[in-house]
Chain A
Amino acid sequence: MKRIGVLLLSLVLLAFVTGCWNRRELNDLAIIMGIGIDKVDGEYMISTQIVNPGEVASKDGGGMSQSAVANYSLRASTLFEGIRKMTTLTPRQLYFSHIQVLVLGEQVAREGVKEVLDLLFRDHEVRPDFYMILAKDASAIQILSMIDPLEKIPASKLYKSLETVERIWGSIVSVQLDEFITQLLQDGVEPVLGGVGVKEKVRMGAAGGKPLQMSALLKYQGLGVFKEDKLLGWFNEEESIGYSYITSRVKGTVEEVSCREKKKIAIEIIRSKATVSGIVENGKPQIEVNIAAEGNVGEADCPIDLSNPKSMYRLEIEAEKQIKDKVQKAVRKAQKFQSDVFGFGQSIYQGNPKNWGKVERGWNQTFADLEVKTTVDVKLRRTGKVGKSFIPLMKKE
């Protein structure tokens, strides 16, 4: 009994001699919300955006005495060195688990990003579920420094905005680190990343007769096309949406179709699914993209009777044309870059792995000359609360 007591006591004491060795109090951590990486003179320019919790969560409101975040940057030849060296600047130990976005400067992206990603993929503290974003015509540090009037933390603004755009407009796809690396490693598919640029001024209203302030804003501007880990060029907005259609990533967008007298009808796409099938015939690969989309009539500016099935049918055909056009533009642009971002090679492989073996060599060239058959099928479901627009009724009176 006594011996067991001694054993138990020493076990209990053992628990305390560890001294809580990897204990880190929350208020000793510098929580990083975003990382930006640029390249300057062959060295990395690493920027970290650290949140100032007291400012973000302060209930006092009103006096924005201090910024909610602080950006620290320095130059180093490797990422790891830079991050460790950064403690010379920051008051607290950096904490990487809550990174929301990784912003890559356009320069780095053009030169290749694989070296940058290794640390972030290797380190145990970093969760590979943050979004990767390209800085378009800007450096990453610039992007991270833009403060939005509604969102105190720029990294959060980038994160939320990215998700919203993807969900309801579709010109951007969100790519997380692990997805990006999967696409790098897979045959017959190249990655894309959403780009964000500094754009346009916004008017910030102020109460009490103060003059309107002008502030620069960030704007998502389409996708950057990669080949391997290097950025080649950009899709514009239409092509980006086309890309989303082909890769079934459209969760919602709007298609405008023309009506009479240059008036437009806007169709809300609520669901879209693409089936891509790749076959090889006589050594020549062929790709067929079938897109099935569903939509509602969102806005009708012209006198059209939506209760008539014929007019709905006509609208469907118009919408199909629109989508097909976007898709073809995207394919043509990608072919120009010789980068198979749509994963057509993958589709051939999935259709028949042996066929992929036949066309694997020189795929980039093959892709550029590829014949892509596109069929689109749009079904319109609902017309909103009203059938006929009230506009023609007004004209009658």
Chain B
Amino acid sequence: MENRGSQAAPFFCSLDENVEEVKRELGNSSDLVTRKIRMKAVDEVEVCILYTEGLVDKVLISSFMESLMLHAGKRDILSHETEAGPLSLIKGFLLTIGGVEEVYDFDALFNAMLTGDTVILVDGFSQGFIVNTKQWEDRGVQETSVQTVVRGSREAFSETLRTNTALVRRRINNRNLWLETKSIGKMTQTKVAIMYVKGVADEAVVAEVRQRLDRISIDGILESGNIEELIQDETFTPFPTIYNTERPDSVAAGLLEGRVAIIVDGTPVVLLAPAVFVQFFQSPEDYYQRADFGILRILRLISFFIALLAPSIYVAITTFHQEMLQTNLIISIAAQREGVPFPAAVEALLMEFTFEILREAGIRMPRAVGPAISIVGALVLGEAAVQAGLVSPATVIVVSITAITSFVFPSFSMSIPIRLLRFGLIALAASFGFIGIFIGMIVLCLHLCSLRSFGVPYMSPLAPIDLSDQKDTLLRFPIWMMHTRPHFLRQKNIVRDQNNKPKPDENGA
């Protein structure tokens, strides 16, 4: 007991002293509850129950308090156990609850109390019990709000770590689904869980995730985004190199492919690593609908290029390469531009900027003023600006199509780099025309190819190319054809299934 040898302060022997110390350390915080009871069961021991109000399950506490207090006057029941001390009596007979641990020092006590456990201290002993009574107000499992699908599960992660791990476990009933939990954040002590399927996930990647998480030294982790920023491979890139999702089925699918999930307490957004570029264009629904639905991925990729390039191509064509358009079209665009005071580049930047402002306002504004803002926004973006002759209708069309296409991706984090890069490309197009756009695209391409996510090249399986992985890249082949897990994740256990093409029986069916 004494040789626990840590710098953490051990308990005193006196109960009063211990309780006083707890109160003092917590600055007499008003949500601290201390309740002393006198147990007559064993030598009239005084016991104190300490917990933080709001983080505990009150029903559970009252049930085991009942047990403690009921036996307070019934010494006879326990008479044949008098040999045992009060501690083992309490633990062995009176705590009618599953999770009980012993505690010896104040650090562990605070840690337990502040995460919702109840501490039981016994007078005369420098030892206590931690009873697992965590329960707090929780949003519960609700419908997905960001990554919605037509066909597929509607459950979304919630803010509680346990709920989230349970959601994943419910989908993968396998003893190989392993879970490790760490506390990160010197102040917040946020619980962060690493989840992976043992034997499927690459051990090296798991070790790397573990190591990177251990390296974090920070005050607080409030969201998985903080973790993402601290463990990603390349900091100075607009592209996300770690996938995030609010969907348990996405996480389960990732785990089955050999990825590692990082679940952070307090946020419904779960990280998946390693991530590759094409992953951000894949929706869980691709796998739930029939295989031909997977063609939509190409649509998303086209949308990516439209969202990225439409305004800059418009600027380049109208200011440098007027010969590239068909004559009728160029006349029609020229007609729209008659009387517009700004150069095409300024016009495009202006409209893009306006749109970004509206988008930002749309997210931040209070719900109640929403409709008002959107009416004004629609007027600013559309009718009025054109009518006033400030912008040409063609620009409005280009900006609108850009805006719509940037919402096509199943993963919102991919639309952020596009928003940023779009402005750079407009500037390049305005100063160099198509040469500028091409140089921009070449730089972008080189940059994308140089990225890595936990050692996996970001553009795989396109670059380096893996023909077998193409079954689930730009298209989604029928499930019975996808025999292996993605090669680029480098698992040893590569075979996923051995289905054959489904067909009727020999004797007809």
Q: A residues bordering B, Cβ < 8 Å?
A: 15-16, 18, 20, 22-27, 29, 31, 33, 51, 53-54, 56-58, 95, 97-98, 100, 125, 127, 156
Distance in Å from the Cβ of B153 to the closest Cβ of chain A?
Answer: 46
From A16, A27, A156, contact of B337 by CB (8 A): A27
Distance in Å from the Cβ of B10 to the closest Cβ of chain A?
Answer: 49
For this complex, 12 residue pairs linking A to B, each with C-beta atoms less than 8 Å apart, are A18-B432, A20-B431, A24-B320, A25-B343, A26-B344, A51-B334, A53-B334, A54-B338, A57-B334, A98-B322, A98-B323, A100-B327
Evaluate contact between B331 and A31: CB separation under 8 angstroms: yes
Evaluate contact between A24 and B431: CB separation under 8 angstroms: no
Scoring B333, B335, B336, B339 by chain A CB atoms within 10 A of each residue's CB, the highest score goes to B335
Chain A residues in 8 Å Cβ range of B320: 22-24
Distance in Å from the Cβ of B104 to the closest Cβ of chain A?
Answer: 49
Q: What 10 additional pairs, Cβ within 8 angstroms, besides A27-B338, A56-B332?
A: A25-B319, A25-B343, A26-B318, A27-B334, A31-B322, A51-B331, A51-B334, A53-B334, A56-B331, A56-B335
Evaluate contact between B335 and A54: CB separation under 8 angstroms: yes
Evaluate contact between A57 and B331: CB separation under 8 angstroms: yes
Q: B residues bordering A, Cβ < 8 Å?
A: 318-320, 322-323, 327, 330-340, 343-345, 427-428, 430-432, 436
Distance in Å from the Cβ of B141 to the closest Cβ of chain A?
Answer: 47
Evaluate contact between B332 and A57: CB separation under 8 angstroms: yes
Evaluate contact between A29 and B339: CB separation under 8 angstroms: no
Evaluate contact between A53 and B323: CB separation under 8 angstroms: no
User: Looking across the interface, which residue of chain A has its beta carbon closest to that of B436?
Assistant: A15
Contacts A20-B319, A97-B322: A25 and B337 contacting too (C-beta < 8 A)? yes
Evaluate contact between B337 and A31: CB separation under 8 angstroms: no
- What is the interface of chain B mostly: helix, strand, loop, or mixed? helix
Contacts A26-B318, A56-B335: A97 and B323 contacting too (C-beta < 8 A)? yes
Evaluate contact between B323 and A26: CB separation under 8 angstroms: no
Q: Tell me, in angstroms, the Cα distance from A33 to B340 when the chains sit together.
A: 23
Chain B residues in 8 Å Cβ range of A57: 331-332, 334-336
Chain B residues in 8 Å Cβ range of A16: 431
Chain A residues in 8 Å Cβ range of B343: 23, 25
Chain A residues in 8 Å Cβ range of B318: 25-26
Chain A residues in 8 Å Cβ range of B338: 27, 53-54
Q: Tell me, in angstroms, the Cα distance from A9 to B323 when the chains sit together.
A: 33
Contacts A15-B432, A31-B330: A24 and B322 contacting too (C-beta < 8 A)? yes
User: Looking across the interface, which residue of chain A has its beta carbon closest to that of B326?
Assistant: A98
Evaluate contact between A15 and B428: CB separation under 8 angstroms: yes
Q: Tell me, in angstroms, the Cα distance from A27 to B342 when the chains sit together.
A: 10
From B323, B330, B430, contact of A20 by CB (8 A): B430
Contacts A15-B428, A23-B319, A127-B323: A98 and B335 contacting too (C-beta < 8 A)? no
The 10 closest A-B pairs by CB, nearest first: A97-B323, A57-B335, A53-B335, A53-B334, A27-B337, A54-B338, A26-B334, A57-B332, A98-B327, A26-B337
Chain B residues in 8 Å Cβ range of A26: 318-319, 322, 330, 333-334, 337, 344
Q: Tell me, in angstroms, the Cα distance from A31 to B337 when the chains sit together.
A: 13
Distance in Å from the Cβ of A351 to the closest Cβ of chain B?
Answer: 41
Chain B residues in 8 Å Cβ range of A56: 331-332, 335
User: Looking across the interface, which residue of chain A has its beta carbon closest to that of B424?
Assistant: A12
From A24, A53, A58, A125, contact of B319 by CB (8 A): A24
User: Looking across the interface, which residue of chain A has its beta carbon closest to that of B344?
Assistant: A25
Distance in Å from the Cβ of B496 to the closest Cβ of chain A?
Answer: 45
Evaluate contact between A125 and B331: CB separation under 8 angstroms: no
Evaluate contact between B431 and A53: CB separation under 8 angstroms: no
User: Looking across the interface, which residue of chain A has its beta carbon closest to that of B428?
Assistant: A15
Chain B residues in 8 Å Cβ range of A27: 334, 337-340
Evaluate contact between B332 and A53: CB separation under 8 angstroms: yes
From A54, A98, A125, contact of B330 by CB (8 A): A98
Q: Tell me, in angstroms, the Cα distance from A41 to B431 when the chains sit together.
A: 46
Chain B residues in 8 Å Cβ range of A100: 327
User: Looking across the interface, which residue of chain A has its beta carbon closest to that of B334?
Assistant: A53
Q: Tell me, in angstroms, the Cα distance from A31 to B330 when the chains sit together.
A: 9
Q: Tell me, in angstroms, the Cα distance from A135 to B320 when the chains sit together.
A: 34
Chain A residues in 8 Å Cβ range of B322: 24, 26, 29, 31, 95, 97-98
Chain B residues in 8 Å Cβ range of A20: 319, 345, 430-431
Q: Tell me, in angstroms, the Cα distance from A97 to B330 when the chains sit together.
A: 11
From B319, B330, B344, B431, contact of A15 by CB (8 A): B431
Q: Tell me, in angstroms, the Cα distance from A18 to B427 when the chains sit together.
A: 12
Contacts A20-B431, A26-B344: A33 and B327 contacting too (C-beta < 8 A)? yes
Q: Tell me, in angstroms, the Cα distance from A7 to B327 when the chains sit together.
A: 43
Evaluate contact between B431 and A58: CB separation under 8 angstroms: no
Evaluate contact between B427 and A15: CB separation under 8 angstroms: yes
Distance in Å from the Cβ of B451 to the closest Cβ of chain A?
Answer: 19
Distance in Å from the Cβ of B492 to the closest Cβ of chain A?
Answer: 40
Distance in Å from the Cβ of A237 to the closest Cβ of chain B?
Answer: 29
User: Looking across the interface, which residue of chain A has its beta carbon closest to that of B327?
Assistant: A98
Chain A residues in 8 Å Cβ range of B334: 26-27, 29, 31, 51, 53, 57
Distance in Å from the Cβ of B412 to the closest Cβ of chain A?
Answer: 29
Distance in Å from the Cβ of A73 to the closest Cβ of chain B?
Answer: 22
User: Looking across the interface, which residue of chain B has its beta carbon closest to that of A68?
Assistant: B331
Distance in Å from the Cβ of B99 to the closest Cβ of chain A?
Answer: 51
Distance in Å from the Cβ of B225 to the closest Cβ of chain A?
Answer: 25
Evaluate contact between A125 and B323: CB separation under 8 angstroms: yes
Chain A residues in 8 Å Cβ range of B337: 25-27, 53
Q: Tell me, in angstroms, the Cα distance from A22 to B334 when the chains sit together.
A: 18
From A23, A24, A125, contact of B430 by CB (8 A): A23
Q: Tell me, in angstroms, the Cα distance from A27 to B336 when the chains sit together.
A: 9
User: Looking across the interface, which residue of chain A has its beta carbon closest to that of B336?
Assistant: A57
Distance in Å from the Cβ of B116 to the closest Cβ of chain A?
Answer: 46
Q: Tell me, in angstroms, the Cα distance from A12 to B475 when the chains sit together.
A: 38
Q: Tell me, in angstroms, the Cα distance from A57 to B336 when the chains sit together.
A: 8
User: Looking across the interface, which residue of chain A has its beta carbon closest to that of B315?
Assistant: A23
Chain B residues in 8 Å Cβ range of A95: 322
User: Looking across the interface, which residue of chain B has its beta carbon closest to that of A18?
Assistant: B431
Q: Tell me, in angstroms, the Cα distance from A58 to B318 when the chains sit together.
A: 19
Chain A residues in 8 Å Cβ range of B333: 26
Distance in Å from the Cβ of A20 to the closest Cβ of chain B?
Answer: 5
Distance in Å from the Cβ of A284 to the closest Cβ of chain B?
Answer: 50
User: Looking across the interface, which residue of chain B has its beta carbon closest to that of A19?
Assistant: B431
Q: Tell me, in angstroms, the Cα distance from A56 to B436 when the chains sit together.
A: 32
